[in-house]
Amino acid sequence: MWEDPPMSGAWKRMLPGAVLALSVTACPGAGQKPGPSGSGGDELPQVVVFAAASLRDAMGEMAGVARGEAGLDLVLNFAGSNVLARQVESAAGSNGGADVFLSANEEWMDRLAADGRLVPGTRRAFLSNRLVVVARRDSPVEIARPRDLATASYRYLSLGDPRGVPAGIYARQFLEAVAMPGGGTLWQAVAARLAPAADARAALAQVAARRDVVGIVYATDARTSGDLRVLFEVPPELAPRITYDAAAVAGGPAGEAAARRLLDLLASAAARAVFARQGFVPLPADADR
């Protein structure tokens, strides 16, 4: 069983909150133009979206599209998919949870589906992503290929917590796919230097905080920080299959009809353009479940 690597007190002090879940609720219609009535669009249905942290920028842009294209105000809650899935479970039946869940992997959707938390027939795979290895722009670390992670001069390797955070699960799958010349895997070779984070954006923050830290993060997250540089992209032959799933949550506060409207919007050409602009890979409609 994987265990937390040792982490010094100095490391913890330098990154207050970096390993905490990023759970932020956006005010409906924040930063958007008011509707024709000048009321700020209060007449529009509010759809509560629990979205993986790596979707923060894309769904922020989608809030405007949802208002204009579907007549919906989005209330956005971001965290690791594992945290959000547990929030969906704990809110079940309270009418205070999510209408739509956007997970960065299939496993957490599988768990909710098995528990009857999803509206049957609404689940679909709608996005993919890529993994990259990053460092701060002023970092002296140079890594050109996967095996260099075992020998390069850095102190910590930041990644999402592999015990539940999709970005970390994918990172572990990549590291375990690399065989080392002397035996074992790259995962085993870097285990002593791992610095797990609560979600994808927290892993990115850990890299940005120190010159002696490198990270395995989503390519889309790497694009959000001008302070980081990409050392290399994980080669396709070593890359795990990355899938983002979307589904309507049973008993959501806005109701099933509004949730379905948002899911239809996420499959539209307008949404696909937003996600592609943010660096994601939109999946074809036949990826629906």
Name the residue ranges covered by the structural domains of the chain.
9-19+130-233, 46-128+242-287
Strand pairing report for 131-136 and 73-79: unpaired
Residue 94, pLDDT score: 57
For the stretch 215-251, pLDDT in tens is: 999 999 999 999 999 999 999 999 999 999 999 999 9
Per-residue pLDDT for 39 more than 60? Answer: no
Task: Using alpha carbons, select from 240, 202, 234 the residue that is nearest to residue 221.
Answer: 202
Average pLDDT over residues 48-66: 97
How far is Cα 101 from Cα 106, in angstroms, rounded to an integer?
12
**CATH architecture of the domain covering 9-19+130-233:** 3-Layer(aba) Sandwich (3.40)
**Mapping DSSP to helix (H, G, I), strand (E, B) and coil, where does residue 47 land?**
strand
Query: Are both 9-19+130-233 and 46-128+242-287 of the same fold?
Result: yes
pLDDT-derived band at 13, boundaries 50, 70, 90: very low
Please say whether the beta carbons of 11 and 195 come within 8 A: yes
Average pLDDT, the chain: 86
Residue 284, pLDDT score: 87
Q: How far is CA 11 from CA 6, 16, 40, 105, 191, in A?
A: 10, 9, 44, 29, 17
Alpha helices, H only, 34-93: 56-65, 81-91
- CATH number assigned to the domain with residue range 46-128+242-287, chosen from the 4 options 2.30.30.100, 3.40.50.880, 3.40.190.10, 3.40.50.720: 3.40.190.10
